[in-house]
A and B are shown apart, each in its own frame.
Chain A
Amino acid sequence: MNGDSRLILPTRRTILKGATGAAALGLVSPFPKPAIAQGAPLKVGFMLPYTGTFAKLGKFIDEAFRLHVEQKGGKLGGRQVAFVQVDDESKPEAATDNMNRLVGREKVDVVVGTVHSGVAMAMVKVARDTNTLLIIPNAGANEATGPACAPNIFRTSFSNWQPAFPMGKVMAEAGHKNIVTITWRYAAGQQMVDSFKENLAQTGSGAKIVEELYLPFPEVEFQSLITRIATLRPDAVFSFFAGGGAVKFVKDYAAAGLKERIPLYGTGFLTDGTIEAQGEAANGIKTTLHYADNLDNPANKAFLEAFKKKTNLDGDVYAVQGYDSAALLDIGLTAVGGDAGARDKMIAAMEGAKIDSPRGPISFSKSHNVVQNIYLREVRNGRNEYVSVAHANLADPARGCRLSA
């Protein structure tokens, strides 16, 4: 039994579990333990999906974070940085062990992760219990910066509430009165539909939701629900799907001839990352997200160029989130001269951070969730092109978070 684990893990059972996991990692970890904290490199633990459905997202977040560190000469806040990687495989059941491995055995100074909301919530719990600094570079579960918020937890990506919210106004202003929503029946889908509904009701336009359609997650047999939409004949449809499901939905919707008659709207995840596979079927779809492929600002241009040079790949919203995670950490470390032990001062600096991100200016709310512009985009020629700012500097309401009082 090693002493590292005992400090943070209260029961005998979890010590055993943690130690087994830690032993497994010990074989592959390329980094030696730092002898003394001061002077040694700052240890950043990536807990990201390097395999499985979200592997590409994990890779982009990882690469962009490293890109930022390289641009600062391999340092953040003037201190050398070393990385430890753990593949979370997007498996919530392994999340607690993986997180304990980074915090207990590897003794990282900060954890960056992850994509999957279920995994992220388990990470949030460990981070709260062990007071570990955690930066979430994607997972959108509202709870992470809501009821579960904590001083040591930051999110640089979005809450599910954020990208869906402005769509109510967008669709009401487009003159749509009767709207149907469709998504998977799981937390992210439900939170986005709820947020959209909230905004739609606030517009006072009289626009209403005729029917909310749900599909078991992650089913992709949409045909009967698409027929249902044709029967209901709403003015427009609001949707949230992602990955393979999004591609199939967009193609089925177009193939059923609905796209020209009943315009399709959604959060940006509907068309981001898989737009190539969607082809012409996606043209004309309007979505809201905190990024657009052709955002015309110097930071975005420089970022896309540097990312392309480093990876030979086109950067996207996930890469931007990874890049900004590094920027946020840099601001915190700079304020304390690289001494991650001066936690309170570091957190105060991160809370007050103003970052000139590729997605536009961002800052942080009291609940430590990112405050950002949400853009309206339209798919044109296989790109999510910028149309307008749907909502400037949108902050998550952080319901249930005591920090935001």
Chain B
Amino acid sequence: MDLVSFAVQLLNGVQYGLVLFLVASGLTLVFGILGVINLAHGAFYMLGAYLAYWITARTGSFWAALVGGVAIAFVVGLLLEEIFVKRLYGRDHLAQVLLSFGLILVLDEIRHILFGKDVHSVPAPEFLRGSIQLTEVLSYPVYRLAICVFCLAVAAAIFLVIQKTRIGMIVRAGAENRDMTRALGIRFDVVNRYVFAVGIVLAALGGIVVAPISTVFPGMDNQMLILSFVVVVLGGIGSVAGAAIGALLIGVADSFGKVFMPNFSSFTIYVLMAAVLLWRPNGILGRREI
């Protein structure tokens, strides 16, 4: 493989990894801070993609879909936390798995009732529709590059909020020692609600942003859910920085795995995960027992 092809494959891997990070970051936040295993995370990714399709088809504007989709996901997140999820804090993982598995079934049925079972596509925003000629034969869609920039911006925003703001401080303190933080007079029920809603928003955001390059179809959530968990476990449960590293590793491994080891491409990333966990059983940046 020549240098140019290598560079393009690397770009493919990084772009894929950034999308994985966007979705998995929400999962790791909810996991790390609330201690809740949310199996329905992939379903919210699908919800985001379908909202992108539905709003774009009605308004003709992808930006309306971005804003509207995020707003809807946020409200849904708040409601779900209030009605269901807050009853799960401190319960064992089986209860959480049961509830979130139930949510998958319900969300999928709602998707079926509202949007049907056809395959849809979403047009990218007008000014991002071009492509850049990379080699004589291959060109690269501008929209894919825009996704990279967007994901990096979201990642930066997450780091800033967690590291530099008072809310971030509370969240970090809560993840470190929940009882002590509560004893200091922090209202955790409110913090929890917003953290859960933000987690849902990040999943939906992933679905919305990916919709123009990834077709919108029933079942699109399955693969993403599994990959998100791989990323979270690989990076260390609850660590956003770990999820970023994990996602990029998975993205690049998948890209090169498909080309260099086509016969083993279905388990390249799982071999990588196993190897990393042998080396660091709690994940790359993980401190908590899995």
A residues lining the B interface (CB < 8 Å): 52-53, 55-56, 185, 213-216, 218-221, 223-228, 230-231, 233, 243-244, 247-248, 251-252, 255-258, 261-262, 274, 277-279
Contacts and interface: CB of A to CB of B under 8 A. Distances in A.
Contacts of B216: 244
Contact of B120 (A216, A230, A277): A277
A244 B215 contact: yes
A223 B138 contact: no
B262 A227 contact: no
B190 to A, nearest CB: 39
B287 interface: no
A215 B131 contact: no
B266 A225 contact: no
B5 A255 contact: no
Interface in B240-282: 254-256, 258-259, 262-263, 265-266
B127 to A, nearest CB: 16
Given A227-B5, A252-B213, A53 B219 contact: yes
Interface string B221-235: 001000000000000
Interface in B1-44: 1-2, 5, 8-9, 12-13, 15-16
Contacts of B138: 226-227, 230-231, 256-258
* Most-contacted residue by chain A among B16, B139, B258, B266 (CB, 10 A): B258
Interface of B: 1-2, 5, 8-9, 12-13, 15-16, 117-121, 131, 133, 135, 137-141, 144, 213-220, 223, 254-256, 258-259, 262-263, 265-266
Nearest to B257: A224
A262 B137 contact: yes
Given A247-B215, A248-B215, A255-B213, A277 B119 contact: yes
A274 B223 CA distance: 21
B223 A220 contact: yes
B217 A224 contact: no
9 contacts: A213-B262, A214-B262, A215-B265, A220-B215, A223-B144, A225-B259, A231-B5, A248-B213, A256-B141
Contact of B217 (A185, A219, A247, A251): A247
Given A216-B265, A257-B131, A257-B138, A227 B8 contact: yes
Contact of B16 (A185, A223, A225, A262): A223
A156 B262 CA distance: 35
A231 B258 CA distance: 14
Contacts of A244: 119, 215-220
Nearest 3 A-B pairs (CB), nearest first?
A244-B217, A257-B139, A216-B266
A224 B215 contact: no
Main secondary structure, interface of B, reads mixed
B262 A247 contact: no
A233 B140 CA distance: 16
A224 B259 contact: yes
Nearest to A273: B119
A316 to B, nearest CB: 13
Contact of A56 (B13, B118, B120, B121): B118
Contacts of A258: 137-138
A167 B133 CA distance: 31
B35 to A, nearest CB: 31
Contacts of A56: 117-118
Given A220-B214, A223-B12, A225-B258, A55 B117 contact: yes
Contact of B255 (A52, A53, A223): A223
A396 to B, nearest CB: 29
B9 A227 contact: yes
A247 B139 contact: no
A258 B135 CA distance: 11
Nearest to A55: B117
A98 B55 CA distance: 40
Nearest to A211: B262
Nearest to A54: B117
A49 to B, nearest CB: 11
Given A251-B215, A256-B138, A224 B255 contact: yes
Given A223-B12, A244-B119, A277-B120, A215 B5 contact: no
A64 B67 CA distance: 43
Nearest to A212: B262
Contacts of A218: 219, 223
Contacts of B16: 221, 223
Contacts of A262: 137
Nearest to B217: A244
Nearest to B135: A230
A248 B144 CA distance: 14
A256 B121 contact: no
Given A224-B12, A224-B254, 14 more contacts: A53-B218, A214-B263, A216-B266, A223-B15, A224-B9, A224-B258, A224-B259, A227-B12, A228-B259, A231-B5, A244-B220, A256-B140, A258-B138, A262-B137
B215 to A, nearest CB: 4
Contacts of A185: 266
A243 B16 CA distance: 22
A277 B118 contact: yes
A185 B267 CA distance: 13
B131 A255 contact: yes
A320 B80 CA distance: 45
Contacts of A231: 1-2, 5, 138
Nearest to A226: B138
A287 B9 CA distance: 29
Contacts of A228: 258-259
Contacts of B131: 255-257
A262 B123 CA distance: 24
Contacts of A255: 131, 141, 213
B87 to A, nearest CB: 30
A214 B5 CA distance: 19
Contacts of A257: 131, 133, 137-139
Nearest to A244: B217
A251 B143 CA distance: 13
Nearest to A214: B262
* Most-contacted residue by chain B among A55, A214, A231 (CB, 10 A): A231
* Most-contacted residue by chain A among B1, B120, B121 (CB, 10 A): B121
Nearest to B117: A55
Nearest to B218: A53
